[in-house]
């Protein structure tokens, strides 16, 4: 009973962690493949108010690190090419892309809709995003976009709303400017908020349409080690005096939600392990009561209190080892089965099956949880058994 | 730690043992200054009415219980005030117990039961332990039943396994609390003869508590007890 409980507890712990991590991992991959690991946006200046305050306390010069609320921001990046050149020298940076962004109204023969244009250099942007894969998931081709100066890549949701397909023309209006473009491809990021508004076009064309002849709205950066994004962003912010946001900062609320879900699942499933531990505690406590005579006779033969404790610890350890191995097998099997289960998810990302992502840590934490519960359940009866006085027990039995 | 004057033939000695049992108003002065000696190669019977303190004396001598006052020497070592670990080690090395109920481990074979004290003492290798256990079981007439589980043996046979187990580590002292109390007359005779013969052959001191006058009369020495004192 206790063994079965531990097997199910460890197994389900692994499964639930694999599921929640799977969706989180998929979300992160989607976000990184769409918006990059770091975005460098507006230039900032420390305000006079802040500089005075800092001087009053330090008696000397101004602090370099400044709180964001004490800054004045100037929109965009003024020298994107120089900044890109400098960014490429960062060891962890794998790609950089200049983006000019602006709002437009898209007119098709069917209807019009507001959209957001992103002017890019295709090759640069492919190095910081999964655009190639996103177009492959949609329709049309990158090759057509590459070779067509007036070509566009538009999101699937927007294409559906405008009732346009690859090869159709649409008119984009920005201020007084309006131009006709040809749809080279329809991409699908899986994030409906992006697919509904974003239109990619060539950088030069975007500058011309949006009347932004110099500078950039932001620079999108891809990293080799995505986990180091906050540290890299902080460093970039200090060096370039531009706001740099890591993906962790941008998606903080979603990541917190995933984290809460993961902890909640872990706590819920841990109750199975806890209940099994209580079952095991009861079983061992009963064994202590039933085996008092045997414990006494072992003590009379020269077995120490530690020896008696060890016997019960061994019992617990055996249940733990068998339970965790069984749990690993169950967890692995069910996780594999769940990963094949068809489910259609559209919204913050797009998936057609359950997303799972297992790491050695899920197995390790599940095992650790079981170890703490099982060994606690074993140690208490073990200590009780070891405290029994052989003379008292044998006297009680003889009378 | 002080030792008493050593005498080669004394395996066990106690002086002025006092023991109280129970608590509060139910507290009873069970032993009132018991002194005793057990000699190697001799069988001593402690006899007396129920509640006179026979078993309590035996458990104190076997270091299964602690006296409230008085001294116990095992192999010339004062043990009455020693630590739990020292007492446990002394039990394993110097003392073998036979109780009224055999207290065999039911899940194990006769051979495993006899090997248990040897496993703890750790002086012999696994094959040597098995060989000695077989030899002891042979001595008590169970050479053909070494691999039987304790549950597959009769009451008399189980008690004989318990004797073999008590002799496993060749202790200097065998303490037996009503070893025949749960057996019929025939088996009582067999068990007593075995216990005394093997102990004498090995020069061990046997102290047994019994209500059976026939058994007591066959011992080398009889020590009657009454109201917590030898009389």
DSSP string of A100-117?
A: EEEEEEEE-SS-EEEEEE
User: Which member of B60, B97, B178 has the closest CB to residue A300?
Assistant: B97
B22: left (phi over 0), alpha (psi -120 to 50) or beta: left
Q: Which of A169, A187, A216 is the C-terminal boundary of a domain?
A: A216
* Shortest CA distance from A300: residue in chain B: B91
A283 shares its domain with A355: yes
Q: Which of A153, A188, A216 is the last residue of a domain?
A: A216
Is the predicted pLDDT of residue B115 greater than 80, yes or no? yes
Average pLDDT over residues A301-316: 88
Torsion of CA A378, A383, A384, A387, to 10 degrees: 160
Closest CA to A395 of B66, B167, B155: B66
Residue A187 has pLDDT above 60, yes or no: yes
3-class secondary structure, B174: strand
Same domain, residue pair A306 and A364: yes
pLDDT of residue A56 exceeding 60: no
Residue A49 pLDDT exceeds 60: no
Contact A394 B99 (CB under 8 A): yes
- Checking if the pLDDT of A213 tops 80, the result is yes
Two tokens, residue A150: 């007036």
The neighbouring-strand residues paired with B98 are B176
Report chain A residues whose CB lies below 8 A from the CB of B112. Answer: none
| Percent above pLDDT 70 for chain A | 91
- Same domain as A287, residue A209: no
- Domains along the sequence of chain B with CATH: 10-230 (3.40.50.300)
Instruction: Report the run of H or E that residue B70 belongs to, with start and end.
Output: strand B69-74
- What is the ipTM, given to two decimal places? 0.85
CA distances from A121 to A166, A205, A245, B146 (A): 21, 10, 21, 88
Phi-psi region of B51 (alpha: psi -120 to 50; beta: other; left: phi over 0): left
Residue ending a domain, choose from A216, A246, A269: A216
From the list B173, B7, B17, B11, the residue with the least C-alpha distance to B80 is: B17
Query: A192 is written with which tokens?
Result: 């409906």
How many pairs of residues across A and B have Cβ atoms under 8 Å apart? Answer: 67
Residues 6+ apart with CB under 8 A from B22: B28
Supply the pLDDT for residue B1: 41
| Domain carrying residue A101 | 96-216
Considering the domain boundaries, does residue A132 fall inside one? Answer: yes
Q: Torsions phi, psi of A40, nearest 5?
A: -100, 120
- The distance of A367 to chain B (nearest Cα, Å) reads 31
pLDDT at B222 over 90: yes
For position B4, what pLDDT does the model report? 45
**Which residues of A fall within a CB distance of 8 Å from B93?**
302
Shared-domain flag, residues A258 and A381: yes
Tokens of A219: 């620079």
To the nearest whole number, what is the mean pLDDT of chain A? 84
Number of domains in chain A: 2
Residues A7 and A131 in one domain: no
Chain B nearest-CA distance from A228, in A, is: 56
Query: Is A316 a domain residue?
Result: yes
| A23 part of a folded domain | yes
Of A305, A307, A394, the CB nearest to B64: A394
Residues A383, A277 share a domain:
yes
The residue with greater pLDDT, B8 or B5, is: B8
**Taking CB atoms and an 8 Å limit, are A301 and B91 in contact across chains?**
yes
- Within a domain: A390: yes
Mean pLDDT comparison of A371-375, A382-386, A388-392, B36-40, highest-scoring range:
B36-40
pLDDT higher than 50, residue B2: no
Residues A209 and A294 in one domain: no
Indicate whether A386 and A292 sit together in one domain. Answer: yes
The owner of tokens 């481990």 is B105
Task: Please tell me whether residues A207 and A264 are part of one structural domain.
Answer: no
Residues A292, A367, single domain; the answer is: yes
Residue A203 lies in a domain: yes
Res B3: pLDDT = 42
The pLDDT score that the predictor gives to residue A51 is 54
The average confidence (pLDDT) of chain B is 87
Residue A44 lies in a domain: no
Classify residue A68: in a domain, yes or no: no
Q: A394: which chain B residues are within 8 Å (Cβ-Cβ)?
A: 59, 64, 99, 177
Decide: B213 and B41 in contact? Cβ < 8 Å: no
Residue partners of B116: CB distance under 8 A and separation at least 6: A298, A301, B105, B108, B165, B168
Q: Which of B23, B89, B99, B102 to mutate to test the interface with A (most CBs of A within 10 A)?
A: B99
Query: A286 vs B114, which has greater pLDDT?
Result: B114
Q: What is the pLDDT of residues A153-177, one digit of tens each?
A: 999 999 999 999 898 999 999 888 8
Residues A264 and A389 reside in one and the same domain:
yes
A217-274 tens-digit pLDDT = 999 999 999 999 999 999 998 888 888 899 999 888 888 888 888 888 888 878 877 7
Q: Please check whether residues A272 and A357 belong to one and the same domain.
A: yes
CA distance B82 to B94: 15
């Amino acid at each position: 009973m206790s063994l079965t409980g531990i097997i199910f507890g460890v197994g389900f712990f692994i499964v639930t962690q694999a599921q929640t991590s799977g969706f989180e991992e998929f979300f992160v991959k989607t976000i990184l493949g769409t918006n990059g690991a770091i975005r460098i946006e507006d230039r900032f200046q420390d305000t006079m108010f802040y500089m005075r305050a800092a001087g009053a306390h330090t008696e000397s010069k101004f602090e370099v690190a400044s709180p964001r609320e004490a800054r004045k921001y100037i929109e965009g990046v003024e020298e994107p090419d120089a900044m890109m050149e400098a960014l490429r020298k960062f060891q962890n940076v794998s790609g950089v892309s200049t983006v000019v962004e602006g709002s437009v109204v898209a007119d098709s023969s069917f209807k019009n809709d507001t959209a957001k244009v992103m002017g890019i250099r295709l090759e640069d942007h492919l190095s910081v995003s999964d655009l190639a894969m996103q177009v492959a998931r949609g329709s049309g081709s990158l090759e057509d976009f590459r070779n067509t100066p007036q070509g566009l890549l538009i999101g699937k949701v927007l294409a559906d709303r405008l009732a346009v397909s690859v090869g159709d023309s649409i008119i984009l209006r920005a201020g007084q400017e309006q131009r006709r473009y040809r749809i080279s491809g329809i991409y699908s990021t899986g994030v409906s908020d992006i697919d509904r508004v974003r239109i990619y076009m060539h950088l030069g064309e975007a500058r011309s349409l949006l009347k932004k002849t110099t500078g950039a709205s932001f620079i999108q950066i891809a990293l080799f080690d995505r986990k180091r994004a906050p540290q890299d962003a902080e460093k970039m912010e200090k060096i370039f005096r531009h706001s740099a946001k890591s993906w962790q900062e941008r998606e903080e609320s979603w990541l917190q939600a995933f984290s809460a879900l993961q902890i909640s699942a872990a706590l819920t499933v841990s109750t199975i392990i806890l209940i099994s531990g209580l079952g095991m505690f009861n079983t061992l406590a009963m064994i202590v009561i039933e085996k008092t005579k045997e414990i006494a006779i072992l003590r009379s033969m020269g077995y120490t209190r530690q020896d008696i404790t060890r016997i019960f610890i061994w019992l617990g350890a055996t249940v733990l080892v068998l339970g965790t191995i069984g749990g690993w097998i169950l967890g692995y099997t069910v996780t594999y089965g769940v990963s094949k289960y068809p489910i259609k998810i559209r919204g913050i990302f797009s998936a057609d099956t359950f997303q799972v992502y297992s790491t050695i840590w899920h197995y390790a934490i599940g095992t650790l949880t079981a170890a703490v519960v099982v060994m606690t359940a074993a140690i208490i009866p073990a200590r009780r058994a070891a405290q029994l006085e052989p003379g008292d027990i044998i006297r009680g039995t003889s009378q | 730690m002080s030792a008493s004057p050593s005498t080669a033939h004394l395996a066990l000695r106690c002086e002025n043992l006092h023991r109280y049992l129970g608590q509060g108003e139910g507290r009873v002065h069970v032993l009132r200054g018991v002194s005793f000696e057990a000699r190697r190669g001799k069988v001593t019977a402690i006899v007396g009415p129920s509640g006179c303190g026979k078993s309590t004396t035996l458990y104190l001598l076997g270091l299964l219980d602690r006296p409230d006052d008085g001294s116990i020497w095992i192999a010339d070592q004062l043990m009455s005030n020693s630590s739990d670990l020292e007492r446990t080690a002394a039990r394993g090395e110097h003392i073998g117990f036979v109780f009224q109920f055999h207290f065999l481990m039911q899940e194990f074979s006769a051979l495993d039961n006899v090997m248990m004290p040897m496993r703890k003492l750790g002086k012999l290798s696994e094959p040597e332990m098995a060989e000695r256990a077989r030899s002891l079981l042979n001595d008590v007439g169970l050479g053909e039943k070494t691999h039987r589980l304790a549950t597959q043996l009769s009451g008399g046979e189980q008690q004989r396994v318990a004797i073999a187990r008590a002799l496993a580590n060749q202790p200097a002292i065998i303490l037996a609390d009503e070893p025949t109390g749960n057996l019929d007359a025939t088996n009582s005779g067999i068990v007593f003869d075995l216990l005394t013969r093997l102990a004498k052959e090995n020069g061990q001191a046997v102290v047994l508590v019994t209500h059976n006058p026939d058994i007591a009369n066959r011992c080398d020495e009889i020590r009657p007890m009454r109201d917590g004192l030898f009389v």
